[in-house]
Amino acid sequence: MFNITKKSIEWGGRVLTLESGRVARQADGAVIATYGDTVVLCTVVGAKKAKADVDFFPLTINYQEKAFAAGKIPGGFFKREGRPTEKEVLTSRLIDRPIRPLFPNGFYNEVQVVCTLLSHDLYNDPDMVALIGASAALTISGVPFMGPVAGARVGYNEGQYTLNPGKAELAEGQLDLVVAGTQSAVLMVESEAQELSEEVMLGAVMFGHREFQPVINMIIDFAEQCAKEPWNFESPKDDELEAKVREIAEFDLRAAYKILGKQERSNALEAAKSKVKEALSEYHDEKTLKNQLKKLEQDIVRTAYVLDKKRIDGRSMSDVRSIVSEVGVLPMTHGSALFTRGETQALVVATLGTSQDEQRIDALDGEYTENFMLHYNFPPYSVGETGRMGSPGRREIGHGKLAWRAVRPLLPAKADFPYTLRVVSEITESNGSSSMATVCGTSLSLMDAGVPLLRPVAGIAMGLIKEKEGFVVLSDILGDEDHLGDMDFKVAGTDKGITALQMDIKIDGITEEIMKVALSQAHAGRAHILGEMAKALTAGRESVGATAPRITTMQIAKDKIREVIGSGGKVIREICEVSGAKVDIEDDGTIRIAATSEESGKKAYDMIYAIVAEPEIGQIHEGTVVRVVDFGAFVNFFGPKDGLVHISEMAQGRVAKVEDVVKEGDKVKVKVLEIDPRGKIRLSMKAVDQATGEDISNKAPAKAAGE
């Protein structure tokens, strides 16, 4: 019934297995990839006809995690998996990026890759297993895929690279890098690093590329046994139409690309394209004409870059556009920055919260909280267009995560700065690398909010034009350069080293030489940007802003936690209501009081202190008479604690009746005389001047008249 093909290798100390022919047999390609005890089912289905009215390759990657993979039942009312989590979205993008460039130009058939996590051993991250499985499924499916590709995760600790480390090993190390590519070249890099040098980062990329070569060889051997017949597809070519388009539009396009301003250039380009459509639309469909125009644009721009060393906006290959850094631009926010680089602008706002504001994440490997959030928004007006406004898309989630990775290594430890941090980046203008503008704006806004960053962090996007005649690496790329170029290479870091690296390639890969040039050029560009940012701020402000909460930390004994919380939370609620502060209590007895005013924070602190502290003999307190008896009065003077003022300690001289001196509800000042072994407390009123609160126990009593 089954025609099963199976291959296994030992890779990174664990067994990697690919299997096909047993599950999902109606898909064009289906592979179960297993690494350790992590299992991912990867399927590929390609439409047999090209999708009408599209001029792009409609590839969809869906990575999905099933709760049963880790022996869990989903939370929530419906008890089933819902919309994709951030992890699923980021993994889908991770798989898409190295695979997409390996389909031929002009292939417009819809292709869907679905990767389903079936089993998770909570050690081996499913993302690399899914990438390898997807590559294998595409390779055997018959669709025109010029793979295979493979990927690997690389760690770095104490001068040593490690292959596919687990979560605990990554936490102890200095690097979490994912690299993917083919036998000959690298296609994609994604990483977070602890201020590592360019040499270490390049070494990690090349280490990963070497280490996944056995996986590529394994996929090739696997496909030789079970691959389907390849589809017949040739990229469309029309030399006659190409010549006509060039004749009509070349002069106008060349003139348009000499215009420095983005909007003026866009208008001129659109006019040149409209001329072609008017002349040839009767004979050719819009998609064909659009493809020919793009081909002509690429030829014009790329040739000028490689041969003439001329960029669209007149800069040299390594120049960074003009930068303006501003902080404190919004009056009521905790921290704000407006970072403008050329025609790219990010308005970035930082908000400080308490531990109650932490994001709770229910992941397959357990529930945890996150106290640093970075949200990136890209409204359509930022590029002068209309468009749908709604929940963030995959691109927005990916760009936000990249900036998050870049900044996180510079944040202070929670014990030193006990705030929850949320940063929102609103892209108000865009013409190239808004994610790197977000990194710069995030650094400035956090420092403006008083967050003691270890060092400022900046980011820069690099581009590549690679032709037969050679290649050029571009610093701080424009949107058009990204659109017409071969690489989007983003580097973020401090003056000490790299904290995040992301690379996407649109061709069949790049070499170590190109990456070395790009990293070196990015280092110089990053240093320049940090210098421009320093004109606004160089470090976190000395204190948080006036509108931000002040957090006071106190430590109490664990056995006192119950008293502070009270039955059903009654006591803690009363403290918050009376003081106006937020109070967070941790299991180890750490209490954090957050208040927007010094008075509010002090009130909460004093109320808690009165509950957990013990009175000491000789201390003077103000209290309230809560009960009067024949032999004295009970006074509540120290949180919930009461003590007895005996009738003999009420006033100088003899007191005939308690009610002659005090009644219930009176405010009195008392001194602690004695605390017996059973906790009973004896107080004195006569030892304290009731007007001033001064201790008068050692003063001789005043003599009566006539003595």
Question: To 10 degrees, the CA torsion angle through 196, 190, 375, 596?
Answer: -30
pLDDT tier, 24 (very low <50, low <70, confident <90, very high otherwise): very high
Residue that is written with structure tokens 């018959």 in the block:
142
Enumerate the CATH 3.30.230.70 domain ranges in the chain, comma separated.
5-226, 323-533
CB count within 10 Å of CB 231 equals 15
At 216 the three-state DSSP class reads: helix
pLDDT at 701: 57
> What are the pLDDT digits (tens) for 521-536?
999 999 999 999 999 9
Distance (Å, rounded) from C-alpha 66 to C-alpha 130? 14
Distance (Å, rounded) from C-alpha 312 to C-alpha 261? 9
On whether the CB atoms of residues 506 and 202 are closer than 8 A, the answer is no
Q: What are phi and psi of 636, to 5 degrees?
A: -85, 115
pLDDT, mean of residues 96-116: 94
On whether the CB atoms of residues 354 and 596 are closer than 8 A, the answer is no
Decide if pLDDT at 284 tops 80.
no
pLDDT, mean of residues 103-112: 92
Question: To 10 degrees, the CA torsion angle through 114, 118, 122, 124?
Answer: -50
> What are the pLDDT digits (tens) for 157-201?
999 999 999 989 999 999 999 999 999 889 999 999 999 999 999
Enumerate the CATH 2.40.50.140 domain ranges in the chain, comma separated.
620-684
Topology of the domain covering 620-684: OB fold (Dihydrolipoamide Acetyltransferase, E2P) (2.40.50)
> What are the pLDDT digits (tens) for 367-381?
889 999 999 999 999
On whether the CB atoms of residues 178 and 128 are closer than 8 A, the answer is yes
Distance (Å, rounded) from C-alpha 514 to C-alpha 471? 8
pLDDT at 456: 97
How far, CA to CA in Å, does 622 sit from each of 106, 357, 573, 681? 85, 37, 24, 15
Locate 138 and state its tokens: 């595409």
Enumerate the CATH 3.30.1370.10 domain ranges in the chain, comma separated.
550-612
pLDDT at 279: 85
Topology of the domain covering 239-308: Arc Repressor Mutant, subunit A (1.10.10)
Q: Given 3-state DSSP classes, what are the helix, strand and coil percentages for the chain, each rounded to the nearest 5?
A: 35, 30, 35
Question: Which has more pLDDT, 69 or 615?
Answer: 69
pLDDT tier, 704 (very low <50, low <70, confident <90, very high otherwise): very low
pLDDT, mean of residues 390-395: 90
pLDDT at 285: 76
The span from the first CA to the last CA of the chain, in angstroms, equals 121
Q: What average pLDDT does the structure give for the chain? A: 91
pLDDT, mean of residues 86-105: 95
Percentage, residues of the chain above pLDDT 70: 99
pLDDT at 289: 84
How far, CA to CA in Å, does 234 sit from each of 104, 119, 229, 237? 8, 39, 15, 9
Which residues does residue 551 pair with via DSSP β-bridges, in sequence order? 594
On whether the CB atoms of residues 201 and 498 are closer than 8 A, the answer is yes
Locate 56 and state its tokens: 């792009």
Distance (Å, rounded) from C-alpha 614 to C-alpha 386? 66
What strands, in cross-sheet order, belong to the sheet with 323-327?
Answer: 323-327, 335-341, 344-353, 420-429, 372-377
Distance (Å, rounded) from C-alpha 218 to C-alpha 3? 19
Locate 266 and state its tokens: 């866009």
Q: How many degrees, rounded to 5, is the angle at CA 230 between CA 224 and CA 236?
A: 145
Report residue 283 CA to chain centroid gap.
Answer: 50
pLDDT tier, 706 (very low <50, low <70, confident <90, very high otherwise): very low
CATH of 550-612, one of 3.40.50.300, 3.30.1370.10, 3.30.160.100, 3.90.600.10: 3.30.1370.10
Residue-level length of the chain: 707
On whether the CB atoms of residues 105 and 87 are closer than 8 A, the answer is no
pLDDT, mean of residues 478-498: 90
pLDDT tier, 506 (very low <50, low <70, confident <90, very high otherwise): confident
CB under 8 Å, gap of 24 or more: what pairs does 52-56 form?
53/287, 54/108, 54/287, 55/108, 55/287, 55/290, 55/291, 56/108
DSSP 365-388: TEEEEESEEEEEE--GGGGT----
CATH of 323-533, one of 3.40.640.10, 3.30.413.10, 3.30.230.70, 2.60.40.10: 3.30.230.70
Percentage, residues of the chain above pLDDT 90: 65
Locate 261 and state its tokens: 């301003």
Host H or E run for residue 30: strand 29-35
> What are the pLDDT digits (tens) for 598-614?
889 999 998 898 888 87
User: Using CB atoms within 10 A of its CB, is residue 181 exposed (0-12), middle (13-18) or buried (19+)?
Assistant: buried
How far, CA to CA in Å, does 57 sit from each of 46, 52, 106, 299, 465? 12, 11, 8, 21, 22
On whether the CB atoms of residues 435 and 459 are closer than 8 A, the answer is yes
On whether the CB atoms of residues 18 and 227 are closer than 8 A, the answer is no
Q: Is domain 5-226 classified as CATH 3.40.50.620?
A: no
pLDDT, mean of residues 235-262: 84
Enumerate the CATH 1.10.10.400 domain ranges in the chain, comma separated.
239-308
* pTM: predicted TM-score of the whole model, two decimal places: 0.85
Distance (Å, rounded) from C-alpha 642 to C-alpha 670? 11
HSE (side-chain half, CA atoms, 13 Å) at 27 = 24
Longest CA–CA separation in the chain, Å: 131
**CB proximity list for 469: less than 8 A, separation 6 or greater:** 306, 307
